[in-house]
């Protein structure tokens, strides 16, 4: 009798979990398309613009060519067909033309090889001399993750490789947030490159991922129990760290302690799968690229030549580290841009990037 009761309880738990997962995948959802103004794809740029960093002068650095080990056959074929290599692009918000420039990458400090480069998350820092420093997540083709440090050489439109960072805490890095010219936070969105374990993590809603801090000498975990930690950003005053708790469909706001530990201040539900976070340089509000219907995103990433996925951009109004309001600035069913990963508003323009699809620029007529 007891054994039967246990089996029935386990069966009910399993059925309940399956129903919850199906619900979270969004098979029942429908949204209405809307843009903040006229939108068009950026010309002369291949697919993929997973993350941005915009400096106060409007220069925006874009990562392209995101790929990790054990990708699907269809995605690998798509990348070959569209010549998707690891690239870095520059977009200038002060230029009225919707175009980007590919940056050349020079230097090989610490064994960095640009032919093995697959960039993902990015964060910038202005050093004391005014040089633009970039930290870029690299899923190197050989199967290890690194964070690469570059210096922008403006006269030559180059990125000079300066240093690479590697530690055993770098399991499957998603994003990085600089805190100086030699320190940063980063997020792991998995426990390794094994796709079966990563799928189990998502379907079982396991909170296995972490946020790590590097202080210039040592790496340490400063936040754990995350359901796929994704994008990460820092408030303009450096007091708060914002993290995409992807599978929990929420934004985590953490207070940054003097020793760089993180104390969770707020977990704000957004009911969409948020990706990268960009902080408005003037207002401290947040712009977030999101994936509102998860099963469509999963199909798109598995076979991007056949399937499309919707794109969504949110604006979160912030005050003293608290979310005080939310607005949906953009929604597209996947025809204009599929799988939005990041977005920013600057100079009355909305720039939207995607995981492995187009990059879109919109004139921005929605009140800020």
Annotated binding residue 194? no
Give the tokens for residue 315.
């604006």
The CA distances from residue 138 to 47, 119, 194, 278, 368, in Å, are 18, 5, 17, 19, 34
Lowest pLDDT segment from 101-110, 179-188, 209-218: 101-110
| Per-residue pLDDT tens digits for 77-125 | 998 898 888 999 999 999 877 889 999 999 888 889 999 999 999 999 9
Q: Is 175 annotated as a binding residue?
A: yes
| 122 belongs to an annotated ligand binding site | yes
Helices (H), 216-314: 294-302
Active site residue 120: yes
Structure tokens at 174: 């998603």
Distance CA 328, CA 91 (A): 24
Residue with tokens 């949110």: 314
- Is residue 12's pLDDT more than 60? no
| 250 is an annotated ligand-binding site residue | no
SS3 162: strand
Phi-psi bin for 111: left (phi > 0), alpha (psi -120 to 50), beta? Answer: left
pLDDT in tens, 288-335: 999 999 989 989 999 999 999 999 999 999 998 999 999 999 999 999
The per-residue pLDDT for range 128-139, each reduced to its tens digit, is 899 999 999 999
pTM over 0.85: yes
From 53, 118, 120, 139, the catalytic residue: 120
Provide the sign of the torsion angle of the four alpha carbons 103, 138, 124, 163, taken in this order: negative
Strand pairing class (39-41; 240-245): unpaired
């Amino acid at each position: 009798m007891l054994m039967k009761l246990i089996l029935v309880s386990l069966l009910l738990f399993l059925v309940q979990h399956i129903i919850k997962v199906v619900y979270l995948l969004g098979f029942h959802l429908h949204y209405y398309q809307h843009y903040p103004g006229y939108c068009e794809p950026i010309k002369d740029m291949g697919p993929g613009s997973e993350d941005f960093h915009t400096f106060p002068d409007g220069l925006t650095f874009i990562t392209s060519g995101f790929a990790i080990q054990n990708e699907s056959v269809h995605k690998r074929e798509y990348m070959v067909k569209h010549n998707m290599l690891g690239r870095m692009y520059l977009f200038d918000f002060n230029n009225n033309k919707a175009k980007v420039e590919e940056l050349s990458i020079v230097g090989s400090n610490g064994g960095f090889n640009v032919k093995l480069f697959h960039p993902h998350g990015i964060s910038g820092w202005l050093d004391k001399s005014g040089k633009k420093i970039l930290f870029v997540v690299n899923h190197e083709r050989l199967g290890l993750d690194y964070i690469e440090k570059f210096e922008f050489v403006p006269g030559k439109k180059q990125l000079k490789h300066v240093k690479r960072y590697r530690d055993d805490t770098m399991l499957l890095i998603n994003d990085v947030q600089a805190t100086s010219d030699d320190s940063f936070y980063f997020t792991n969105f998995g426990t390794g490159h094994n796709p079966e374990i990563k799928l189990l993590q998502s379907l079982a809603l396991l909170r296995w991922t972490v946020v790590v801090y590097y202080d210039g000498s040592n790496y340490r975990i400063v936040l754990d129990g995350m359901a796929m930690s994704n994008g990460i950003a820092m408030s303009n005053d450096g007091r708060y760290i914002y993290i995409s708790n992807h599978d929990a469909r929420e934004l985590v706001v953490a207070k940054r302690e003097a020793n760089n530990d993180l104390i969770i201040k707020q977990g704000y539900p957004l009911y969409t799968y948020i990706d990268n976070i960009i902080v408005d340089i003037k207002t401290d509000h947040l712009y977030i690229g999101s994936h509102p219907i998860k099963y469509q995103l999963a199909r798109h990433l598995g076979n991007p030549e056949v399937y499309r996925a919707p794109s969504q951009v949110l604006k979160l109004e912030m005050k003293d580290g608290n979310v005080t309001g939310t607005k949906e600035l953009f929604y597209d069913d996947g025809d204009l841009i599929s799988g939005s990963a990041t977005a920013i508003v600057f100079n009355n323009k909305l720039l939207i990037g995607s995981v492995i699809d187009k990059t879109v620029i919109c004139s921005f007529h929605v009140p800020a």
